[in-house]
Homo-oligomer: A and B are copies of this chain.
Amino acid sequence: MKVGGQHFRTIWLNPANEQVVQLIDQRFLPHRFVIEDVSTVAQMATAIREMHVRGAGLIGATAGYGMYLATIEAAGSPAVAGFDRHVTDAAAQLKATRPTAVNLAWAVERQLTSIAKGKSEVRAAQALDWRKTVQRKVALALATAKEIAAEDEEHCRMIGQHGLDLIEQVARRKNGKPVNVLTHCNAGWLAFVDYGSALAPVYAAHDRGLSVHVWVDETRPRSQGSKLTAWELGQHGVPHTIIADSAGGHLMQRGSVDLVIVGSDRTTCTGDVANKIGTYLKALAAQDNRIPFYVALPSSSFDWTIRDGSEIPIEERGAEEVKRADGWRDGQMLEVSVAPENSPAANYGFDVTPRRLVTGLITERGVCKADEKSILELFPEHAS
């Protein structure tokens, strides 16, 4: 999507030097647009752990590129054993950065499998030059990193196309008046490689020339809505308005919301949706006002092993995030205290929206109902 008129992804190879990965350091958004050069696994681990990058899809892609950097580093080893040890250590280091992120472990494992292939291929050719083996492993890691990112991008693009149909239906009914979409948190391109999940249909509609306007929940305590969603919509030229997390219900009562689209951190195979804390409240308000409530997600966000949303573990984060606000002042990021020092605070990261409140799921293969039968019709390979 666009930043200042130029097309960007969240992560890419430095075109002048393919041994360097570049990514948008999201910590300074919306106040500064910072591109970070990453050339070591240690730097990449820091970028994930310290949330220079975040969001399910993007974390997976970043881990993929991190493993590619691991093979470059390992190629400096004087023997194959050293190479393998370095790659294994890097895998563990990357996995440990955000232990709850499903896509992180998945991408690292996929890379390990891919890199291992280099060995067997070269063995099969009975080539004894281990330098050739290493070259092949680096090439495979690069190809896999690109593949993970490209798949993420393509899945999000397809979510956009399927969601576009839903927005077009509303647009026809509204006769040129803007279609008002409400979203929560950031499930835009900044959370993936490009396009996003919840925002992909919005970008598709906007790029198609439809009039679309987004109500952006600020999403306390980390303000991903006002800091990231508002910024990416603004840069791409999509009309939007930031609101307090409490305002969505009132807007729905007034008829100012046509549909709700949110992302998902994890969705059960039966259609219960874990997403950023507060999603459930918006789903209740949508139901109370007969407004469609859609969840957009690539299939990598389904948890095929869990049958009930109540089984999804809910991350509790540090209380300080609730008692502080991070913002920009005089050219720097500052943290201010917004609560009594001695008052405790609780900080639940996610809630679970039961399937009965979800109108439909927008996936890369199409839109389906939030129930097991409909989900498995789209993804029959997971029926077991």
Contacts and interface: CB of A to CB of B under 8 A. Distances in A.
Most chain B Cβ neighbours within 10 Å, of A221, A282, A314, A340 = A340
A3 interface: no
Interface string A94-108: 000000000000000
Nearest to A288: B284
Given A244-B347, A351-B253, A227 B30 contact: no
Given A31-B337, A336-B328, A323 B250 contact: no
Contacts of A335: 329
Nearest to A278: B246
Given A249-B278, A280-B253, A30 B218 contact: no
A31 to B, nearest CB: 7
A277 interface: yes
A282 to B, nearest CB: 8
A343 B216 CA distance: 10
A245 B245 contact: yes
A244 B226 contact: no
A322 B218 contact: yes
- Count this chain's copies in the assembly: 2
Contacts of A218: 220, 322, 338-339
Contacts of A230: 339-340, 343
Contacts of A50: none
A51 interface: no
A220 B242 contact: no
Interface in A317-346: 319, 322-329, 334-340, 342-346
Interface string A242-258: 11111111110100000
A291 to B, nearest CB: 13
Interface in A15-63: 30-31
A218 B338 CA distance: 9
A219 interface: yes
Nearest to A233: B343
A210 interface: no
Interface of A: 30-31, 216, 218-221, 223, 226-227, 230-231, 233-234, 240-251, 253, 276-278, 280-282, 284-285, 288, 314, 319, 322-329, 334-340, 342-348, 350-352
Given A327-B337, A329-B337, 10 more contacts: A31-B337, A218-B322, A223-B339, A233-B343, A242-B322, A242-B345, A244-B245, A250-B348, A280-B285, A326-B338
